[in-house]
Amino acid sequence: MKQYRTHLLVCAGTGCVAAGSFEIKTALEKEIGRRKLQNEIAVISTGCNGFCERGPIVVVQPEGIFYQKLKKEDIPSLVEEHLLKGRPVKRLLYVPPAEARPVPKMMDIGFFKHQRLIVLKNRGRIDPENIEEYIAFEGYQALEKALTTMDPGEIVKEIKDAGLRGRGGAGFPTGLKWEICRKVPGNSKYVVCNADEGDPGAFMDRSILEADPHAVLEGMTIGARAIGATKGFIYVRTEYPLALKRIKIAIEQAEQYGLLGADILGTGFDFSIEVKRGAGAFVSGEETSLLAAIEGKIGIPKQRPPYPVHRGLWKKPTNINNVETWANVPHIILRGAKWYSEIGTEGSKGTKIFSLVGKINNTGLVEVPMGIAMKDIIYEIGGGIPNNKQIKAVQTGGPSGGCIPKRLLDLPIDYESLKQAGSMMGSGGMIVMDEDTCMVDVAKYFMNFLRDESCGKCLSCREGTQRIWEILDKITRGKGVPADIDLLEELAVATKDASMCGLGQTAANPVLSTLQYFKGEYEAHIKYKKCPAVVCKGIISSPCQHTCPIETEAPQYIAYIAHGQFEKAYDIILKDNPLLNVCARVCHHPCEAKCRAGQGGKPIAIRALKRAAIEYNSAKKRTHKRLKASGVKIAIIGSGPSGLMAAYDLAQKGYAPTIFEALPAAGGMLAIGIPDYRLPKKALVEDLDRVANAGVEIRTGQKLGKDFSIKDLFKQDYRAVYIAVGAHKSIKLGIPKEDSAGVVPAMEFLTKHSLGEKTAIGVRVGVIGGGNSAVDAARVAKRLPAVKEVTIIYRRTRNEMPAYAEEIEDALEEGINIQFLTAPTEIVTKDGRITGVRCTRMELGAVDESGRRRPLPIKGSDFLVELDTLISAISEQPDLSFLKKDHDFEISGWNTFVVNKETLATNVPGIFAGGDAIRGPSSVIDAMADGKKVAKAIDQYLRNGEIKFEYKVTRPSVYVEPAKLTVKETLESTRQDTKKLEVGKRKQNFNEVDLGLSKSGAICEAKRCLRCDLEVKDEDEKEQK
């Protein structure tokens, strides 16, 4: 046998082939030939490696170096550097997500390290079209053992004792099925392999057939011996041409080697296998319809009993098993039932192969022992969710299965646990879903699949799936009504109960499962006409407008800018938002996070365009016309964004709102929390004036609880009160000596600074925390003349820091140190004044319920950070010191007001609360949304006594013609980023850092908008009875 010093194993599973692995192989052979290495290096195509996300893949053995995402152009340098000079090419190696260094060896990569390969042990190692390689790795030894040393009864017992359960989905004990079939009298029996694999997203069986077809043949032959069958069929779906090709080659070769056909291994046992092709129907994966299809009849399920083990193909006893089940058999026979039964759990033995797909970093095929936690598959093997998104659910079992929500991720994977949770193991499809997945849409997707694939015989399945789909479709178009949920549940139960076969009986599972765990999403669609994941077109129109808490008509103002009509753009913005200068500078733009242009590209700079509309509109600054005040007085406590918005809207509706502000200046967090370099005073004052001109009285220096009480307000004929006091009290650090001199809470520091009061600050400043107030405090401190060094101390990593990414970037640019994975343990003082803080380094441990890795202290990693000022900014809470001891309000554990989510009413009639006061530190725009909502609520409350909102789907108020782009513009368009003040020019001043877009830059950027709003057309629907 020829000896090579190196083997290059080129993955040739369908995934890698589609990515070009055959070309890679050719390129390798060519280059190796050119370098005259063909006698030292062998190039072999293998079956699927499993790490399909990273194809084309080449594994260099015997070192085990793993190359991924190869291109033809990489091959010459790979051959030269690695194969000739012995230096693996770093840039072609795998780098785990969110890490920097590559992991060269395959078995060190998390994806591979945590798997346990039994069925897939040959994957990526052998050429599936060469039987000798299979034989070299213990192939057909189990068959030899079974045929020469065991009698059929012993074989069955071995499978029974191993506890193998059907891997096709139902999990019926395989040994039991074999035993029943064996006991049925008759000379003519069949074994069948179900390789129809219809579940969308499942490719386990395909991979087995492509990577190691002989495993299936060997298993079937052993099974045939045990049962007494002489003929076998493999039913492969037509959509698997590579699998079909390889299994046919395998059968031919096995026959040539006397391992299949007549007189196998000279033992006198005859068994032959024929391959049958499917014809494109999901239902023919159901056993009775599969058998009908093999017989040449139409693939429609039949009633059982009689079961196939008694009367199957051509009325003869037939044992049908799934591909993976058959592939387990040789291992059980070779190594014994005891060995097998030690893997897995009590009720679910052995391993299971899963196709891990969806919103996961490491998409691919994984084999794991039963009982592994779902969480470990997602994070250790799967590498977590891409793009820092939050995981939402994991769907298992294909269209017959259900969803496991985020909070149940500790679930062990076995038949019983999954069933109890409302899902099922199924054939092994595992679809990971994140915050951008709409669960109602998922149910609709599966329903659509099932109504097409139903055989159509049973009324309950045919009509049930159709009607369920119709209702789900209606809901996703914003036309759902509350009675739909009850109807869905009734239909689901009827479909489940009344259908004859497994397809119909499990068809309702996607709906039932999503209703069980995500009813809130259904309610959002039906009652509030909102799609939380921002997916359902008929409801959202455009994702930016729908996501915006105040439904700003972003596509419209962007479209006007694209036409150069800045005035019209300005009007659109002003229509819903009086605080436009503020939002144009500090809004955290949730719209950009959902922008469709941002999927696979860069989102539209929606916030910057808002600013451009304000800056480049040549018309005079306008406000709305002031309506005649009705004189009905409303009191608003707090002049932050929530209070200002509420007051403005109430004034528009004709009320006489008065804002009571405790501080000497108006604006709330806008004035004291957000420093000038982010929000210049001039911009804020312009917006404050706009609100005042609308008919709002703002009284500063009026503190609730000190200068007046709520009772006073009602006595003075204010008819309703809106409490919008924000969250201005910094939370204590909870470490010793934090009351020492030099330790100051962030809010106190920022407030004093913005009011122009002197702040006692030293030279070396530390900030504890990772949110916006921490970064703001740090950047303010850095600008103060006395300060030389600023360090932020944060206990997690940069990825997890809650502050807005752009802020963190700016802070680092400005020379602020950030110590990640660091937590303070003790404040060190001298004479009662801080001299430093003791910290410990943290490392990320296991993933907790929130889906984040929990930071754990590293023992013995204590170190001292020398400081003379420490700003504590871990979080804030509302300051409720104004409440009397015997107040009636319901307050939460976080010191926030508890309100009715829909109306913002507190439990005290006539008093409402909103903004950070109910939510804790949050965003400007969310506070403004509360202000808008409460204005409507107070209006209804005073008019009708009760508050009832009508919700509508998101639609633009005006049609704007799309801008036309030239071909050149389309091809060359890239995101225009705003100009920023150079770092050098930011020192020791508070000048605005973000300088906005140029006029032409704004028009360019606006033209990039994909105009998602134009896709939704509302047809006139006839009234249906």
Our finding on whether 451 is near another protein (CB under 8 A) is: yes
Taking contact as CB under 8 A, which single stretch among the options 95-103, 298-306, 424-432, 646-654 is the one that binds another protein? 298-306
Letters for 500-539 (x = contact with another protein by CB under 8 A, - = none) are: x---------------------------------------
Q: Which of 35, 105, 335, 462 binds another protein (CB under 8 A)?
A: 462
Q: Which of 145, 389, 457, 955 binds another protein (CB under 8 A)?
A: 457
Q: Minimal distance in Å, beta carbon 473 to another protein? A: 11
CA angle 103, 106, 108 (to 5 degrees): 60
| Nearer to another protein (CB atom), residue 252 or residue 470 | 470
Cα(382)–Cα(753) distance, integer angstroms: 47
Q: Minimal distance in Å, beta carbon 505 to another protein? A: 9
Question: 365 with 356: CB under 8 angstroms?
Answer: yes
Q: Which of 14, 437, 499, 506 binds another protein (CB under 8 A)?
A: 499
Torsion sign (Cα): 51, 52, 57, 62: positive
228 Cβ contact list (under 8 Å, min separation 6): 152, 182, 186, 187, 189
Q: Minimal distance in Å, beta carbon 289 to another protein? A: 10
Q: Minimal distance in Å, beta carbon 268 to another protein? A: 39
Our finding on whether 287 is near another protein (CB under 8 A) is: no
| Nearer to another protein (CB atom), residue 457 or residue 936 | 457
Q: Which of 117, 135, 373, 494 binds another protein (CB under 8 A)?
A: 494
Q: Minimal distance in Å, beta carbon 492 to another protein? A: 10
Q: What are the beta bridge partners of residue 456?
A: none
Q: Which of 152, 386, 412, 456 binds another protein (CB under 8 A)?
A: 456
Position 599: which residue type?
Q
Taking contact as CB under 8 A, which single stretch among the options 30-38, 498-506, 522-530, 989-997 is the one that binds another protein? 498-506
| Nearer to another protein (CB atom), residue 159 or residue 300 | 300
Q: Minimal distance in Å, beta carbon 416 to another protein? A: 14
Q: What is the largest CA-CA distance in the chain?
A: 106
Our finding on whether 610 is near another protein (CB under 8 A) is: no
* Own/partner pairs, 893-902, CB within 8 angstroms, 24+ separation: 894/920, 896/727, 896/920, 897/723, 902/947, 902/949
149 Cβ contact list (under 8 Å, min separation 6): none
590 Cβ contact list (under 8 Å, min separation 6): 547, 548, 549, 923, 925
Letters for 87-126 (x = contact with another protein by CB under 8 A, - = none) are: ----------------------------------------
| Nearer to another protein (CB atom), residue 331 or residue 496 | 496
| Nearer to another protein (CB atom), residue 327 or residue 458 | 458
| Nearer to another protein (CB atom), residue 498 or residue 942 | 498
The footprint of another protein on this chain (CB under 8 A) covers a number of residues equal to 34
**Computed over its alpha carbons, how large is the radius of gyration of the chain?**
34
Side-chain half-sphere exposure of 170, counting CA atoms within 13 A:
15
Cα(216)–Cα(594) distance, integer angstroms: 46
Q: Minimal distance in Å, beta carbon 266 to another protein? A: 45
Q: What is the 3-state secondary structure (H, E, C) of 557-621?
A: HHHHHHCCCHHHHHHHHHHHCCCHHHHHHHCCCHHHHHCHHHCCCCCCCHHHHHHHHHHCCCCCC
Q: Which of 130, 272, 341, 466 binds another protein (CB under 8 A)?
A: 466
Q: Which of 493, 629, 786, 846 binds another protein (CB under 8 A)?
A: 493
Our finding on whether 303 is near another protein (CB under 8 A) is: yes
The DSSP H or E segment spanning 44 is: strand 41-46
Letters for 244-283 (x = contact with another protein by CB under 8 A, - = none) are: -------------------------------------x-x
Question: 641 with 669: CB under 8 angstroms?
Answer: yes
Question: 791 with 760: CB under 8 angstroms?
Answer: no
Q: Minimal distance in Å, beta carbon 293 to another protein? A: 13
Number of neighbouring beta carbons within 10 Å of residue 833? 13
Our finding on whether 458 is near another protein (CB under 8 A) is: yes
Number of neighbouring beta carbons within 10 Å of residue 95? 13
Our finding on whether 453 is near another protein (CB under 8 A) is: yes
| Nearer to another protein (CB atom), residue 275 or residue 498 | 498
Our finding on whether 465 is near another protein (CB under 8 A) is: yes
Letters for 1005-1024 (x = contact with another protein by CB under 8 A, - = none) are: -------------------x
Of residues 59, 63, 72, the one with CA closest to residue 111: 59
Cα(786)–Cα(765) distance, integer angstroms: 10
Question: 928 with 573: CB under 8 angstroms?
Answer: no
Q: What does the binding site for another protein look like in residue numbers (CB under 8 A)? A: 281, 283, 298, 303, 305, 451-460, 462-467, 470, 483, 487, 490-491, 493-494, 497-500, 1024-1025
